[in-house]
Amino acid sequence: MVNDRVEAATAEPGGGVQSVDRAITVLEIVARNDGAGVGEVALELGVHKSTASRLLSALEERDLVEADGERGRYRLGFGLLRLAGRAVGRLDLARQADAVLQDFATTVGETVNLAVLRGHFVVNVADARGPAAIAAQNWVGRLTPLHATSSGKILLAHQSPAARKQLLDAAGLARHTPHTVTSRRLLGEQLSQALTAGIATSFEEYELGLNAVAAPVQGHAGTVVAAVSVSGPAYRLDADRVRAITPVLARAAADISARMGHLD
């Protein structure tokens, strides 16, 4: 039903792009006027009432607008709040973590990142670089695999068994280097160790010459909402150094968690 209405709304000259533009304009009209009827929308868009009605119906199916039956008008729907809440949550997380990331990077002298789940990938939403960090590509916004990165592993480790299976079914276990773990059994053992140790590592599993270690960040409800990680060249960030900086990493993760409202 949703697809039928969306297709009907997009069956206009100019195709889908024009319909997307019109749909966004409809939302702006409804927001600006604190509600709008089909006639008002049609007049502002310069389209027939039937077109305006189809656009509003498609948006209503997605809970982006809702009808006021008594007045024959539409107002903004709770679906917009859901979308905005997710975006604000990501922005708040990055903002709250910024000072901690900067201090942490200065202390360890390496690149540090803050990452979250996005679909069946992990994506870095903020970073900071210490004085010893080697200039490298910017990882912020880039989708990376769950099974081959320290942040991905720590986020996977804190998923329920069902959610973990669903994520891995969608993502697969592609081999990125000779060191990538492509066995679910071995990965499961690593994830169990991550839960026990409070950290997850990646030793040249995503890129040759690159090692990383990550710890979980908790939100106010106690659930893991992100991962904070340290990455650096393998010759410098070896197993001994990972062990040495783990307490500092744990404190950084705890500090960010506290800023997100988590109480020990």
pLDDT at 23: 87
pLDDT at 163: 94
Average pLDDT over every residue of 80-103: 71
In a domain, 241, yes or no: yes
Q: Let me know whether 225 and 109 are in one domain.
A: yes
The pLDDT tens digits for 251-262 are 999 989 888 877
Q: Is the pLDDT at 109 greater than 80, yes or no? A: yes
Instruction: Provide the domain count of the chain.
Output: 2
Q: Let me know whether 189 and 213 are in one domain.
A: yes
Q: Is the pLDDT at 92 greater than 50, yes or no? A: yes
pLDDT at 230: 94
CATH number of residue 226's parent domain: 3.30.450.40
Q: Give, as one character, the DSSP assignment of residue 140.
A: B
Average pLDDT over every residue of 131-142: 64
Pick 70 or 101 by higher pLDDT: 101
pLDDT at 91: 52
Give the end of a domain, one of 35, 52, 76: 76
Q: Let me know whether 109 and 71 are in one domain.
A: no
Q: Let me know whether 104 and 67 are in one domain.
A: no
Residue 134's pLDDT band, with cuts at 50, 70 and 90, is: low
Q: Let me know whether 21 and 145 are in one domain.
A: no
Residue 79's pLDDT band, with cuts at 50, 70 and 90, is: confident
Q: Which pTM value belongs to this model?
A: 0.65
The pLDDT tens digits for 198-231 are 999 999 999 999 999 999 999 877 889 999 999 9
Which of 33-42, 59-68, 124-133, 183-192 has maximum average pLDDT?
Answer: 183-192
In a domain, 187, yes or no: yes
- Rounded to an integer, what distance in angstroms lies between the CA atom of residue 116 and that of residue 118? 6
pLDDT at 261: 75
Q: Let me know whether 252 and 132 are in one domain.
A: yes
In a domain, 214, yes or no: yes
Give the end of a domain, one of 52, 76, 100: 76
- Rounded to an integer, what distance in angstroms lies between the CA atom of residue 6 and that of residue 1? 9
Burial 153-188 (b: 16+ CB within 10 A, else e): bbbbbbbeeeebeebbeebebeebeeebbeeeeebb
In a domain, 134, yes or no: yes
Q: Let me know whether 118 and 238 are in one domain.
A: yes
Task: Tell me what percent of the residues of the chain surpass a pLDDT of 70.
Answer: 85
Q: Let me know whether 129 and 228 are in one domain.
A: yes
Phi/psi for 167 (5° steps) reads -65, -45
Q: Let me know whether 72 and 112 are in one domain.
A: no
Q: Let me know whether 45 and 143 are in one domain.
A: no
- Rounded to an integer, what distance in angstroms lies between the CA atom of residue 107 and that of residue 105? 5
- The strands making up 36-37's β-sheet, listed across from edge to edge, are 36-37, 73-76, 65-68
In a domain, 246, yes or no: yes
Give the end of a domain, one of 76, 99, 122: 76
241: containing domain = 85-259
Q: Let me know whether 47 and 162 are in one domain.
A: no
Residue 132's pLDDT band, with cuts at 50, 70 and 90, is: low
CATH number of residue 12's parent domain: 1.10.10.10
In a domain, 264, yes or no: no
Q: Let me know whether 53 and 110 are in one domain.
A: no
Q: Out of 136-140, 160-164, 211-215, 252-256, pick the least confident.
A: 136-140
